[in-house]
Chain A
Amino acid sequence: MDKRGLSILLALAACLLLCAGLWMFQGLGGGNRGFILSLRASKLAALVVVAFAIGVSTVLFQTVAANRVLTPSIMGFDALYVLLQTLLVASLGTAGFASLPPGPKFMAEIALMTAMASLLFGVLLLKGSRDLPRMILTGVILGVLFRALSSFVGRILDPNAYAVVQSVSFASFNKVQPGLLPFAAAITALACLAAWRLAPRLDVLALGRDPAVSLGLRHRGTVLQVLALIAVLVSVSTALVGPVSFFGLIVAGLAHGLMRSTRHAALLPAAALSGAILLVGGQWLFERVLDQGATLSVVVEFAGGLFFLYLLLRGHIR
């Protein structure tokens, strides 16, 4: 990486530390400090984990899809996760669903999600990669289909179960279940590390199939590996805060704009760090300064949606 890229990454890291410090220690008051600090720390950890998962998975997805306007959620990854959750509630019942130990349940969900997503999107990307518009359309339609199926299954459930399903189908940065956090953090760390180690191969993958094959990249294997990583990361972020459609777009756009490079060794950390700054800083601003804790997700989605339209209007399809 060049000097400029490295100094930007360092600046981003410093900025994230600043935001984290503000989040942890600002307005601490004189009450039960230990309790408040631990509460804040777990929320901070959740926001950082989610930001890393969304940032890294979006950059990965844009690379396999050779497209800068798509995110995993526009293509229906998180809708698939919600559908799996809904089917789980439907088949186990609310009580059964709630009585499963959260850690192993989460692991099993991630495994199932990874298998399904690799299968579906592997077929879509490897078979359809010559025809980008068709692939995008299919992905979008799959997303709609998954959402419709979830809400259909949701509706034939009893009202209690429906409430459980509802709680996993909407984004909120306030409802993180602390039980999941250690698992989510560990899995995200591993997946981000794996993505980082793939970085040189991702650079070649981003050239497109033909050049990548002629340079000796195992194209198919790499695509499937990347899809599996995306599935894991999307599962984590969806389990923690629900589906977030457009946030990844802002983060990936920021990473490209800041680094002005196509090297994944630069893009991946830049996306993760800028995502974390936005979420932690944004949550601090909305919860502490504006006293509107619940609205961050709305604002993030709104801004992301605008950015999406901007990209489309500028003709940045690739």
Chain B
Amino acid sequence: MIRIDGVSHRIGKAPILHDITTHLPEGRLTALIGPNGAGKSTLLRLIGRLEPLQQGRVSVAGRDIAATPTEDLARVMAILGQQTSIASRLRLSELVGFGRWPHHRGRPTAHDHARVAEALEAFALTPMADRFLDEVSGGQAQRAHIAMAFAQDTDWLLLDEPLNNLDMAHARALMGRLRDLVDRQGRSVGLVVHEINYAAAWADHVIAMKDGRIVAEGSANEVLTEDVLSDLYDAPIAVASHQGRPLVLHHV
């Protein structure tokens, strides 16, 4: 479980998060939703220790992130931020290979190479594994970044808008793969999604944020209702039902 306990955050003088207490359940796929600027990325970055905690506590699988050595955390959780810029010029295979770094710290074994090949294959990147990151399309680069987090092979996987740039087939394939991680391998996944129907169709648990606060959390059926969503996005939103799960009609 990821426990978030009284976390507040400011940037300069501006308050971004207000005393957030919540949790991401273990062995579940949790979706974070909310309008632009709600603080979803900030919360995810705080959990992933990409941003230093100012107030409150966060623990991942029982380890307080402020007290656990960062190299140990890297073997427990992988985080992919919303901005996926890589400073050096790398081939896709090299990028995905870095996902294994927390395990080998510079001396990859045959097992590491095998995991990298697996991750490349899983995201249909094998044919372009030797191309440079700036020589592939935006969606292909995004898949390479996700494959890197995948290769890290951690109990927790945190992804900030992983569906960015993906076409619908790859978006659905990614959600299916994450579902598979949770159902078959007992992993836990937290992700920020804007396309709310992906949360409706695939998530076990949904956390809705607005203006730095949590406004609703629970199962997809509990959170993705007309009342909650209309309030959350300040716009009337109709919700239908499809195969027992909510189907959000936000585009009409």
Contact = CB atoms under 8 A, between A and B. Distances in A.
Interface of A: 66, 199-201, 203-204, 206-208, 210-211, 213-218, 262, 318
Contacts of A66: 87-88
Contacts of A213: 48-50, 70
Nearest to B77: A214
A201 B106 contact: yes
Given A214-B79, A216-B75, A218-B70, A200 B105 contact: yes
Given A200-B105, A200-B106, A204-B101, A214 B87 contact: no
23 contacts: A200-B105, A200-B106, A201-B106, A203-B98, A204-B101, A206-B87, A207-B88, A208-B87, A210-B50, A211-B86, A211-B98, A214-B74, A214-B79, A214-B81, A215-B102, A216-B72, A216-B74, A216-B102, A217-B70, A218-B70, A218-B71, A262-B89, A318-B87
A158 to B, nearest CB: 49
B83 interface: yes
B178 interface: no
Contacts of A318: 87
B73 interface: yes
A203 B50 contact: no
Interface of B: 48-50, 70-75, 78-81, 83, 85-90, 94, 98-99, 101-102, 105-107, 149, 152
B74 A215 contact: yes
Nearest to A213: B50
Given A201-B106, A207-B88, A208-B87, 7 more contacts: A200-B101, A206-B87, A207-B86, A208-B86, A213-B50, A213-B70, A262-B94
B87 A199 contact: no
A218 B49 CA distance: 11
B85 A208 contact: yes
B115 to A, nearest CB: 14
Nearest to A198: B106
A214 to B, nearest CB: 5
Nearest to A318: B87
A214 B70 CA distance: 8
Contacts of A210: 50, 81, 83
